[in-house]
Amino acid sequence: MADAPLILLAAGGTGGHLFPAEALGAELLKRGYRVRLVTDARALRYSGLFSPDMIDVVESETVRGRSPLALAKTAALLGMGGLRAFALIGRLKPAAVVGFGGYPTLPPLVAARLRGVPTLIHDANAVMGRANKFLSRGVTAIATSLPGVLDHDPALAVKATLTGTPLRPAILAAAGVPFVPPEPGGPLRLLVVGGSQGARVMADIVPPALERLDAALWPRLVVVQQVREEDMARVRAVYDRLAVNAELQPFFTDLPARLAACHLVVSRSGAGTVAELAAIGRPSILVPLPGAIDQDQFANAGVLEQAAAAIRIVQPEFTPQRLAAEIAALAAAPARLAAMASAARSVGTLDAAARLADLVARVAEV
């Protein structure tokens, strides 16, 4: 195994970047490659495929402001990370470096190019992220999760291969669970997730929305909701008052199984979330994160909305009244929920890790 080709995976330290890297890493290991992860310190919190001895932490920084001081700090940290990555790649001699987005991918991908190592980036969004956009013209190949992402740029389109988003084994297992629409008068299972930048708005909007539903629907609701610790008491108080069956947690370690068990998801529309909803095939109400420069979550949600698999609500319109109306309409139409689930599944890709591994092999030429 020590003589096997090494593939270096570079990813930002969030689940949306790390989970596809893990899925590709697992596929590459099955094919006899060695893999290592280059990332920032945030990734050390995640447990999964990459044990500590398989992780190299490189300094990086996200652009957090436009002031000269903020830009200078970002440039300095990325420069330090670039020097460390240049030395790391010189020592490890990988056959290829694969980036999954986020600013922590910049130092290793730029260093790989300077070292003459083949490079590939994977972008999971309907609109390419800023870090990947910066890298795109210098990399050997580009993998996309969704069709048409680079149609506007012929120079990049010729380097692009549609692979889909590599999925964790738990998601692939959940994808094998068929969608069973709610029975008339039976439980209606609602999953509410928001992530680090969405749980607060869900705490603000979802409980009062459910309170606006016909009281006859309350006993049918089975709610699983991600709630920040500081919001837990007020969210719990509403559900207790309504006698709604609700499980509230700051984080769910078994989220794939929760997705498979639900009838309807209310969520942000990050790339990973959209890919998992499509793979498992579940109806959703999606609220894109507002304020993003490239509006990637709005575009991601649009993919499922266009397929009639989701309802997209921009945050200014995400009110208790609007959400209550949408949930009430779906609760009264189980056949529509089933059709949405089928539509979601029709745009999912279950073999993305294998497709991306094939592309990595071609780029690495080993």
Report which DSSP code applies to 317.
Answer: G
Q: Are residues 216 and 304 in the same domain?
A: yes
Q: Are residues 196 and 156 in the same domain?
A: no
Distance of alpha carbon 77 from alpha carbon 107, whole angstroms: 10
Q: Are residues 200 and 304 in the same domain?
A: yes
Distance of alpha carbon 208 from alpha carbon 192, whole angstroms: 14
CA angle 179, 268, 222 (to 5 degrees): 45
Q: What is the pLDDT of residues 166-198, one digit of tens each?
A: 998 899 999 999 999 999 999 999 999 986 555
Q: Are residues 354 and 342 in the same domain?
A: no
Beta strands 188-192 and 34-39: pairing type? unpaired
* Contact of 363 with 118, CB cutoff 8 Å: yes
Residue 265 in domain = yes
Residue 244 in domain = yes
Q: Are residues 198 and 120 in the same domain?
A: no
pLDDT score of 199: 78
What is the number of domains present in the chain? 2
In three-state secondary structure terms, 37 is strand
* Contact of 128 with 149, CB cutoff 8 Å: yes
Distance of alpha carbon 123 from alpha carbon 142, whole angstroms: 8
Q: Are residues 151 and 12 in the same domain?
A: yes
Other beta carbons less than 10 A from residue 70's beta carbon: 13
Distance of alpha carbon 364 from alpha carbon 116, whole angstroms: 12
Residue 109 in domain = yes
Q: What is the pLDDT of residues 233-254, one digit of tens each?
A: 999 999 999 999 999 999 898 9
Distance of alpha carbon 191 from alpha carbon 251, whole angstroms: 12
pLDDT score of 70: 65
Domain that holds residue 183: 173-346
Q: Are residues 79 and 188 in the same domain?
A: no
Q: Are residues 161 and 183 in the same domain?
A: no
Residue 281 in domain = yes
pLDDT score of 253: 86
Residue 330 in domain = yes
Residue 125 in domain = yes
CATH number of the CATH domain containing 162: 3.40.50.2000
Residue 288 in domain = yes
Q: Are residues 190 and 253 in the same domain?
A: yes
Q: Are residues 146 and 214 in the same domain?
A: no
pLDDT score of 198: 58
Q: Are residues 115 and 204 in the same domain?
A: no
* Contact of 222 with 188, CB cutoff 8 Å: yes
pLDDT tens track of the chain, all 366 residues? 668 999 999 998 777 788 899 999 999 999 999 999 998 777 666 657 888 888 888 866 565 556 776 666 666 676 777 788 999 999 999 999 999 988 888 999 999 999 999 999 999 999 998 889 999 999 999 999 988 899 999 999 999 999 999 998 899 999 999 999 999 999 999 999 986 555 799 999 999 999 999 999 999 999 999 999 999 999 999 999 999 999 999 989 899 999 999 999 999 999 999 999 999 999 999 999 997 767 889 999 999 999 999 999 999 999 999 999 999 999 999 999 999 999 999 999 999 999 999 999 999 986
* Strand spans (E) along the chain: 6-10, 34-39, 55-57, 96-99, 119-123, 141-144, 160-162, 188-192, 221-226, 245-249, 264-267, 284-286, 310-312
pLDDT score of 148: 86
pLDDT score of 75: 65
Report which DSSP code applies to 181.
Answer: P
Residue 1 in domain = no
Q: Is the dihedral of CA 197, 134, 151, 281 positive or negative?
A: negative
Q: Are residues 226 and 264 in the same domain?
A: yes
